[in-house]
């Protein structure tokens, strides 16, 4: 393979062949290892250009990572909900709001759960004792107390 100019930065004769190198594909914070790839790298800007079979394998690893990540998130949503003894309906009521079938769609990987909801589920997975707080939060006694204060302030100004 003869050297040629970098397609990205234009540096002359800067592309150097490599083979047998490992790369990592990432999707959000999730990663997957792709071993033994070959191609060329620019010595100036570090841009990598894979050869055709390596480009194919790298792209496929990325696609599979996204597909697997969606499935893993969906399975985690289901596992944690069951661990907390929620039905899909009560999980919507206490946690997510939205349509009555929201959790069903998250658990079938039809829709990605909103990030705050997935964070909340993972926190509850680590601290399931907080579920009792959820019921108190749902009752809204604290918010109703604040509303009563607002009402009293409003009446004072009349
Ligand atoms: Zn370059």
Residue of higher predicted confidence among 113 and 158? 113
Mean pLDDT, residues 131-145 taken together? 91
* 47 Cα to the center of ligand 1, angstroms: 6
Angle (CA) 102-106-110 rounded to 5° is 105
Q: Note the pLDDT of residue 86.
A: 96
Residue 1 has pLDDT above 50, yes or no: no
pLDDT band at 2 (very low <50, low <70, confident <90, very high): low
**Per-residue pLDDT tens digits for 42-65:** 999 999 999 999 999 999 999 999
* 12 Cα to the center of ligand 1, angstroms: 9
Nearest to 94 by CA among 142, 134, 129, 132: 134
Nearest to 124 by CA among 158, 155, 85: 85
**Per-residue pLDDT tens digits for 110-121:** 999 999 999 999
pTM: 0.80
* 6 Cα to the center of ligand 1, angstroms: 5
- For the domain 15-126, what is the CATH superfamily, name and number? lambda repressor-like DNA-binding domains (1.10.260.40)
Cβ contacts of 83 within 8 Å, gap of 6 or more:
125, 128
> How is the chain split into domains, by residue range?
15-126
């Amino acid at each position: 393979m003869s050297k040629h100019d970098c397609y990205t930065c234009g540096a002359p004769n800067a592309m150097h062949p490599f083979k047998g190198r490992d790369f990592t594909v990432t999707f959000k914070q999730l990663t997957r290892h792709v071993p033994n790839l070959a191609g060329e790298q620019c010595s100036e800007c570090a841009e990598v250009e894979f050869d055709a079979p390596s480009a194919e394998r790298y792209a496929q690893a990325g696609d599979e990572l996204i597909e697997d990540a969606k499935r893993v998130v969906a399975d985690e949503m289901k596992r944690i909900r069951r661990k907390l003894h929620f039905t899909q309906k009560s999980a919507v009521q206490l946690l997510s709001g939205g349509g009555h079938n929201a959790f069903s769609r998250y658990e079938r990987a039809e829709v990605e759960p909103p990030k705050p909801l997935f964070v909340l589920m993972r926190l509850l997975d680590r601290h399931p004792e907080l579920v009792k707080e959820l019921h108190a939060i749902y009752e809204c006694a604290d918010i109703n107390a604040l509303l009563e204060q607002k009402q009293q302030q409003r009446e004072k100004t009349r």
